[in-house]
Amino acid sequence: MSFGEREATDMASGDSSDYGAFLEKFILEPISSSPEHPLKGLTFAVKDIFDVDGYVTGFGNPDWARTHSAAISTAPAVLTVLRAGAKGIGKTVMDEMAYSINGENVHYGTPTNPCAADRVPGGSSSGSAVAVGAMLVDFSLGTDTGGSVRVPASYCGIFGFRPSHGAVSTSGVIPMSQSFDTVGWFARDPVTLNRVGRVLLQLSDVRLVVPTQILVPEDCFQLSNIPSDQINLALVKSVENLFGGNIVKPINLGEYVKDRVPSLKHFMCKVNEDQEYNIPSLAALSTAMRSLQRYEFKKNHGEWVTTVKPDLGPGISERVWEAMRATGEDADICCSVKAELRAALTDLLGDFGILAIPTVPGPPPKLQTDPTSLETFRARAFSLLSICGVSGFCQVSMPLGLYDNLPVAVSLVAKHGSDGFLLNLVETLYDTLKEQIELARN
């Protein structure tokens, strides 16, 4: 068992030329209004949740596409990268109604994971991640509500960035749950990730700021079935080489959140204590997030779902109809949890602190795994994903090569509004991190 370098594998089936990533291909030419064109020469793909003038936004479901007209304008996020000189080449497959982290779509086919063809690509921005991982485009746009950029980035061995909540316009994007929806992006290298981020976030070039501390929550790494020392050793040594070892500090994040987010008590009683190892306070955080998500999804799409009664795939159908029963009785408490968590984590990290966590609890599951057998994995995943989902902080998932021939990743988290700091840090850190991974292999 060892870490290794990612290589795109051949498709097991389907169109090997595009790994099943694209729903439809078309050309969006760059818009020549920016004198600098920071993305000139780069190609991108866009998730089928973004409006593109003249095309139906399909939301991952044929019944949605059938009952909606073509968009009459293009989403600002898409226009922004076009104005920066990038060239669009099509729309990508996504999970139906953005309601999954697996990446499997029974209607349009499941995009093939370029790292492991027998594994799920991750969702709901599956096609966007696969298009980048398979080297079909230089970057791509996705959305992340509960983990829909971070998860497929981890599964496909690429970079995925979830920005601070509200930092990138979600106008012209079909809403899933506005309290958590973000526009994110994928790239194969940290330089491109940073270039795209500076355009979308409208950031000027800024110098690297040395992080004041990098917190490593040992309880979070215990959620992962990848040996934590394999990940932590490479990360810690990289930080030591660049910034000195005194800034790396262990922490028990679950206890900190439990003590500092009092409104979570309302959800703690709903956590399954018999569940195979999880962190109760983070599991409660996940419960709060998904409760508000269901309620907002119902407000957004309940009338359409109950009227059209769309054909939905397994797993997604159950989640959508569960959302139709949401009452919103916990909505105010969920909002309190959001505010308290953001304040608590801001106090913890300060302006230039970093939290390092596993992106997900392990490598991508096999295709068509029975949903019940995924329950423990999903529960652990959402415990990790809800940290940024609920706080609104920014998070980057970084690939760490392969472990047992499957892709693994680690995430870095920074406070709300510190996106530029985090992007710069990843670009600076990653070469050293790769060297440490290579040393660990040998």
pLDDT at 87: 97
Per-position pLDDT tens, the chain of length 442: 333 443 344 333 334 579 999 999 999 999 965 667 999 999 999 999 999 999 999 999 999 999 999 999 999 999 999 999 999 999 999 999 999 999 999 999 999 999 999 999 999 999 999 999 999 999 999 999 999 999 999 999 999 999 999 999 999 999 999 999 999 999 999 999 999 999 999 998 777 889 999 999 999 999 998 887 767 888 888 999 999 879 999 999 999 999 999 999 999 876 665 556 789 999 999 999 999 999 999 999 999 999 999 999 999 999 999 999 999 999 999 999 999 999 999 999 999 999 999 999 999 999 988 877 788 899 999 999 999 999 999 999 999 988 899 999 999 999 999 999 999 999 999 999 988 887 777 6
Q: How many CB atoms lie within 10 A of CB 156?
A: 36
Annotate 189-200 with b (16+ C-beta within 10 A) or e (fewer): ebebbbbbbbbb
Which has the closest alpha carbon to 139: 75, 199, 97? 199
Which has the closest alpha carbon to 157: 134, 136, 182? 134
- Kind and range of the H or E element at 220? helix 218-221
Task: Say if residues 230 and 406 touch (Cβ distance below 8 Å).
Answer: no
| Residue that is written with structure tokens 């262990």 in the block | 250
The one-letter code for the residue type at 207 is: R
pLDDT at 13: 35
d(CA 420, CA 141): 18
| Residue that is written with structure tokens 């608590």 in the block | 344
Active site residues: 47, 124, 148
Domains present along the chain, CATH in parentheses: 22-201 (3.90.1300.10), 213-441 (3.90.1300.10)
pLDDT at 10: 36
pLDDT at 34: 62
d(CA 298, CA 323): 6
Task: Say if residues 24 and 108 touch (Cβ distance below 8 Å).
Answer: no
User: How many Å is the maximal CA-CA distance in the chain?
Assistant: 60
Q: Which residues contact 375 (CB under 8 A, 6 or more apart)?
A: none
Token pair belonging to 34:
């920016």
pLDDT at 311: 98
pLDDT at 4: 41
